[in-house]
Amino acid sequence: MAAISNYLENELLDHVLKNAAYTSPSAVYLALYTSNPTDADSGTEVDVDRQAITFGSVASGGTISNTADLTFTSMPAATVTHVGIHDHATAGNLLFHGALSSSKAVDAGDTFKISTGDLLRKEIKEKSSLGIKIKTIIDKGSLVSDNIIDNLIEKVVSNKIYENHIIFDGYPRNLNQAKCLDALTKKYNQKISCVLNLKVDFNIIVKRILGRQICSKCSLIFNEFFYPATNKNHKCDSKFLQKRSDDNENTIKNRLKAHSNETTPILNYYENQKLLTNINGMDKIDEIYKEIRLIIRSLKT
């Protein structure tokens, strides 16, 4: 978590420095927010049941991890930006809070977005043996092997929570992955409803990736060329603006070359199945969003 609440900070100070009694909660619960809770718990909480959260091994290096995925059902339409840990399922006190790596827009009806990039970065962040291997591959500008990706994807597709409510972002990236996804959806009684292809000029893609900056403090995303951080749109210090290690020109061009060679056959594959829809990725973001939203809303599972 990014920050400790005023309540817990006071409790710990009194406990450590004044020997005051502090009783740990019997359970803790994760809440979703559409704005920063702040240390004073003044944010706007999403109107959905908090979920009990458990942790595995003891904290190390200032971090601790939960032991299982959390699922929020009956979600209202909302854009989730932050999470908070509370000491009660309702009301109670905020203990910790933090921002998501990127905000998540959720429609009523529970559609889940699965990004292979997020799955890979999760492994890297956890510094698992697989994560170390993935980082080495990505830093060279190469694509991670099909076997690694497909194993990560199967973990998601096999989970009934996401049955026929999945949006894949950046997958499949080659014909073998597309065929593997077909096999996985059949194996777990799911289906592919549509495939969206955003068409953007090569030079624009390079600039979009090369100029990307992510604030490590508030998680907002900017672009040096198209949407630079300013005093008006970014309140954090500029020192928090970071670039991904693989966002450099040589790596980007290698990725795009590999992308073109690998993904062109996929477009033909899905076009033959009458699943492909091309979208002009050069339009304004609002227009692209509206077009994609209409397509997704028209789908039947």
- Average pLDDT, rounded, for the chain: 81
Nearest to 100 by CA among 72, 80, 77: 80
For residues 216 and 240, the answer to whether their CB atoms sit within 8 Å is: yes
**Could you give the C-alpha distances from 209 to 196, 198, 223, 244, in angstroms and in order?**
20, 15, 8, 10
For 24-52, how does the pLDDT look when each residue is reduced to its tens digit (9 = 90+)? 888 899 888 988 899 999 989 988 888 88
Among residues of the chain, what percentage have pLDDT more than 90?
19
The answer on pLDDT for 259 being more than 60 is yes
pLDDT bracket for residue 1 (50, 70, 90): very low
Angle (deg, nearest 10), helices 116-125 and 146-157: 100
Tens digits of residue pLDDT in 101-157: 666 777 665 544 545 566 666 667 777 776 777 777 777 766 667 787 787 788 788
pTM over 0.95: no
Q: Flag whether pLDDT at 252 surpasses 90.
A: no
Predicted pLDDT at 182: 93
Per-residue pLDDT, 67: 55
Other beta carbons within 10 angstroms of residue 147's beta carbon come to: 10
Interval 56-98: pLDDT, tens: 656 655 566 665 567 776 778 788 888 889 999 888 899 998 8
pLDDT tens readout for residues 208-230: 888 888 888 887 888 888 889 99
